Each structure stands twice: as structure tokens, then as C-alpha cells.
Amino acid sequence: MTARRKILFLQRRPPHGTIYALEGLEAVLIFCSYEQEISLLFLDDAVYSLKKGQDTSELGTKNFSSSYRVLFDYGVERVCVDEKSLNLRGLTKEDLIIDVEVVTDQEIINLMNDQDIILPF
């Protein structure tokens, strides 16, 4: 049996205006089917992807934020959000649609150092 690899998906882009956030989410869900150790980290404007109450009707795009609720069902082991990114955007853990682990700079460094692969989106 092949050893499980530790894969970190790094989300940095806002949820709307580009395809990066949606493509990143889809990649995470696809990789889950390969039974690897998957973690997801939201930095910078990517924290808006998890914000409750998103309304995309004026953008003419589908609101895919509710899809993040299935991450743990698919086998994602950790979902982390950068503490500074939340604070700079006036958000708290309670503003997010799923339960996340809020992490500090040092915890992010430790998380990244512990990975076999880091995939940025």
C-alpha cells in the first residue's frame, strides 16, 4: 500500500472575480478521492470564501460557498484560516459558514513545513 501524502491546498484569492477559489475547492474534493491527508488553508482575501450570507445574485455567478460544508465529509482533515487575514478584514470565526482552526503565523509555518506537497490557488 502506498503511504499517504500530506497535501496542503493554499487558498489566497477572493471567492469571486476569478475562477481560482472554485477551482481550488474542486481540486480539494477530487484529491480527497485519492485518500491522501488533505489540509486547506485560507489566507488573505480567500477568507471571504467562508463568510456567511454571501449574495452573488448581482454578480451573475453561482454562490458555491455552501459547498465548503462538505469538506469534512469528503475527508479533509484540517481547515485552517489565517488569524491576521480574518482580523484585517473585520471577520471572526463566528462569521464563517464552517468550523475552522484559526492559526497564527508560526502555526502556518509549522503546517507548511509538515507537508509533502503545497498546492496554491
List pLDDT tens digits, range 27-55: 999 999 998 999 999 999 999 999 998 77
pLDDT at 64: 79
The residue that leads in pLDDT, 90 or 56, is 90
Give the range among 2-6, 54-58, 66-70 with minimum mean pLDDT.
Answer: 54-58
- Whole-model pTM? 0.90
CA distance 36 to 21: 21
- Residue-wise pLDDT tens digits, 71-101: 999 999 999 999 999 999 999 999 999 999 9
Please give the sequence-ordered ranges of beta strands (E in DSSP) within the chain, or none if there are none.
6-11, 37-42, 78-82, 101-103, 117-120
How far is Cα 77 from Cα 59, in angstroms, rounded to an integer?
32
Contact between 86 and 50 under an 8 Å Cβ cutoff? The reply is no
CATH code reported for the domain at 6-120: 3.40.1260.10
CA–CA distance, 121 with 119 (Å, rounded to integer): 7
